[in-house]
Structure 1
């Protein structure tokens, strides 16, 4: 697989979980002889929801909730067949969304 690279993007709500998964991927790729760039932290997406807690009036009484989506990206340069097999067999934590692109 000469002159190719694999781009892996991870998404999760828990930053500890995404960092653990990213380190597992980097460790697996380096163990099989591939060169890894990353993990690169991408901007965190923050979604805020404001809800009125009063059933009738009192516009000032509100609660705010927030969901943060953490993202990481890494490139695996010149992956070997052994690297691809090891990454396919890798079991990551539940709650981590993985996108893989082969260029």
Structure 2
């Protein structure tokens, strides 16, 4: 019996939630116990760029990038999980425990 920890990341929270539902439905069809989704803290990156390359130092523009994360724990898997088709922009990390 294998146990897996699945970490899912995406830039868009809505697409991430749809992907998590798709993964849970796939796993529940195989009668496997799943704990989650557990919402992990959203990471926010802010990039500041000067608008004018020469004189106007105070004129700046900021861009924000949010990384949403979810966590699933899958218990008592008899066989290895096959890859699931997910939308672009969703990263899936699977670890055995």
TM (norm. structure 1) is 0.85
Task: Choose between structure 1 and 2: higher strand proportion.
Answer: 2
Aligned equivalents of 1:7, 1:73: Cα separation in 2? 7
Q: What pairs with 1:20-59 in structure 2 (closer than 5 Å)? A: 20-59=18-57
Matched, 1:19 2:17: yes
Aligned equivalents of 1:38, 1:74: Cα separation in 2? 5
TM (norm. structure 2) is 0.90
Matched, 1:73 2:67: no
Q: CA deviation at 1:66?
A: 1.0
CA contact (8 A) 1:33 1:80 kept: no
For structure 1, the residue ranges without an aligned partner over 5 or more in a row are none
Task: Choose between structure 1 and 2: higher helix proportion.
Answer: 1
Runs of 4+ with >4 A deviation:
none
Query: 3-state DSSP class of the match of 1:20?
Result: helix
Aligned equivalents of 1:75, 1:37: Cα separation in 2? 5
For structure 2, the residue ranges without an aligned partner over 5 or more in a row are none
